[in-house]
Amino acid sequence: MNRIPCPHCGERDLEEFYYGGDATVQRPSMDDGSLERWHDFVYLRDNPRGPHSELWYHSSGCRRWFKLTRDTLNHQILAADQKEPETVTGDNVGDSNV
Amino acid sequence: MKYNFAAIVKQALNGQRGWPRAWRSATPKAHYDVIIIGGGGHGLAAAYYLAKNHGITNVAVLEKGWIGGGNAGRNTTIVRSNYELQDNSRFYEHSLKLWEELSTELNFNTMFSQRGAMIVAQNDGSVDYLLKRGNAMRLQGIDAQWLSPDEVRKELSGVYSDENARLPIYGGLMQRRGGTARHDAMIWGYARAASALGIDIIENCEVTDFVLQGEKVLGVQTTRGKILSGATALSVAGHSGHLAAKAGIRLPLESHLLQAFVTEPVKPLLDTVAVFSGLELYISQSDKGGLVFGGELDGYNSYSQRGSFSRSRDIMKAAATYFPMMSRLKVLRQWAGVVDMTMDGSPIMHCGPLDNLYINAGWCYGGFKGTPAAGWCLAHSIAENELHPLSKGFSLDRFKSGKTIDEPGTGPVPNAH
């Protein structure tokens, strides 16, 4: 895989991007006391062999997060979502100055 | 047939026509006491030790491709036990001790060469860290030796020597008992030895689903029919998450790509294994003369077995930085293996979470050196239905209890280990 289609800037070299991981994990609310749910959020991943919804950050470009659906078997990009992913507005991917 | 000098002479007189196949090609039976999914080094070693240590021989090893065609053929063959944390160092030290006897044990020359494995420090921080790591190793009875910058340069002929370089050499942590082995010999040796003890090795047999009854695993569905078993072990490296999902299990790991390269053969240059901590690079020279090297993960989830160009370039850059003469060498081969990176960078060995299921996964890039001990401990788990003392810390429970085994201390980010 060598090129990533940034929904804002167009197709750019992979090196310009930072990988933010699985976009489907949902952070529990801060007052959620369930160890089970926090454990699942922090550690467990579906790790699919096929289409994978994931977060990317265009660190050397527009500096915006976006969501990509990519096939993990052949690296084909199936969809790029222009909308700022809601997972990012929580803090599970940390400071956006990665 | 035992491999020895008399056999070589006899077969030479016979025109080399009498060598038997190294292992039987078995057809699947309807039921086994134990099924091991995955005919990699770990699965075959587990089958061998089940027969050897525990007397359990009604065992099938199911391999979707052919023996030696997965990660056993996609690694850089480095063996070492230079870990800091006790759960890791105890385990890998046991593995290293098994490696030392493996050729005799299997009656197959694994070409294990204890040429030393060294981590090179390239700033003050890494000197402090590696000294601490070396002391931790010595306290646990594992050999470790600190080398000065001059001693490092003496060990690594051809390494750059510019003291004003951006990443100068500050010293090195050497484990003399570390080294390399021949990857094919290891897996062929285990396959042959296991087969000789009555284990069925079934190639071209892909597991497509589990046969479940409530919380109990009764067997597997395969491309060669349904096979039932008393115990089922999962030992499929990069495909652990994918296969576990078929039993409704989510694991704390992601599948990533790790690339490696081999150059054209050159005369003897490097007689040790070197790992550089500045620009990530590990390198050794094979017995054929090729320089075998690799670096960081590609960094995104993938099952493709194909690396990206930007990472290839980073690793080549590191190689040419540390060994300037390498910029003139041609790369003959490049490959990417699918590695199952866990959330803390340490392996998973677990009895359960379903009844009759045993998980051996998450070996990140430590799978090759860990093969003998992983097989040893997995066989113990299956035979005794509890984890071997050496693999107790690797249980899935550690993620809930907070006792993660995070060597570099990078937190739950699989691509950062």
CB contact under 8 A, B306 and A75: yes
Q: Which residue of B300, B311, B397, B405 to mutate against A (max A Cβ within 10 Å)? A: B300
Q: What is the pLDDT of residues B28-41, one digit of tens each?
A: 999 999 999 999 99
CB-hemisphere CA count at 13 Å for B127? 11
Name the nearest CA neighbour of B297 among B342, B252, B250: B342
DSSP code string of B346-415: S-EEEE-SSBTEEEEE--TT-HHHHHHHHHHHHHHHHHHSS--GGGGGGSTTHHHHT----TT---S-GG
| Per-residue pLDDT, B391 | 95
CA distances, B181 to each of A59, B80, B116, B369 (Å): 41, 11, 12, 9
Quick: pLDDT tens for B231-245: 999 999 999 999 999
Quick one: which of B308, B257, B338 has its CA closest to A3?
B308
- Tokens read off for A64: 């915006």
Q: For the stretch B359-375, what's the b/e string if a residue is b when 16 or more beta carbons lie within 10 angstroms of its beta carbon?
A: bbbbbbbbbbbbbbbbb
| Residue B9 pLDDT greater than 60, yes or no | yes
Say yes or no: ipTM exceeds 0.85: yes
Q: Inspect the interface and report whether the beta carbons of A13 and B310 lie closer than 8 Å.
A: yes
Mean pLDDT in chain B?
94
Beta strands in B14-53 (DSSP E): 31-37
Question: In whole angstroms, what is the distance from residue B10 CA to residue A12 CA?
Answer: 63
Residue A86, pLDDT > 90, answer: no
pLDDT of A83 above 80:
no
- Whether A97 has a pLDDT exceeding 70, the answer reads no
Nearest to B37 by CA among B202, B251, B247, B246: B202
pLDDT at A88: 52
Higher pLDDT, B340 or A98: B340
pLDDT of B416? 83
∠ CA B188-B360-B133, nearest 5°, is 95
**Residue B300's pLDDT is what?**
95
Q: pLDDT confidence of B377, banded at 50, 70, 90?
A: very high
pLDDT of residue B165: 80
Percent of chain B with pLDDT over 70: 100
Look at residue B344 in the predicted model and tell me its pLDDT.
Answer: 93
pLDDT over threshold 80, residue B397: yes
The SS3 assignment for B252 reads coil
Inter-chain residue contact B303 with A54, CB threshold 8 Å: no
- Quick: pLDDT tens for B75-133: 999 999 999 999 999 999 999 999 999 999 999 999 999 999 999 999 999 999 999 99
B142-170 per-position pLDDT tens digit: 999 999 999 999 999 889 877 778 889 99
Task: Return the pLDDT at A95.
Answer: 43
Asked if the Cβ–Cβ distance from A46 to B245 is below 8 Å, we say yes
Task: Encode pLDDT of B65-86 as tens digits.
Answer: 999 999 998 899 999 999 999 9
- Inter-chain touch A43–B412, beta carbons under 8 Å: yes
Mean pLDDT of A51-72: 94
Put simply, the answer to whether B302 touches A49 (Cβ < 8 Å) is no
Q: How far is A54 from chain B (nearest CA, A)?
A: 9
What is the per-residue pLDDT for B161? 77
Residues of chain B contacting A42 with CB distance shorter than 8 Å: 343, 399, 412
Of the CA atoms within 13 Å of residue B283, those in its CB half-sphere come to 27
Task: Report pLDDT for B167.
Answer: 87
Element housing B146 (H / E): strand B145-147
- The span from the CA of B325 to the CA of B97, in Å, is 35
Which of B301, B348, B410 would best serve as a mutation to test chain A binding (most A beta carbons within 10 A)? Answer: B301
Nearest-CA distance B78 → chain A (Å): 27
Residue A98 confidence (pLDDT) above 60: no
Provide the edge-to-edge strand list for the sheet that holds B273-276: B145-147, B171-175, B117-121, B273-276, B281-285, B291-301, B253-263, B331-342
By DSSP bridging, strand B348-351 and strand B357-361 are antiparallel
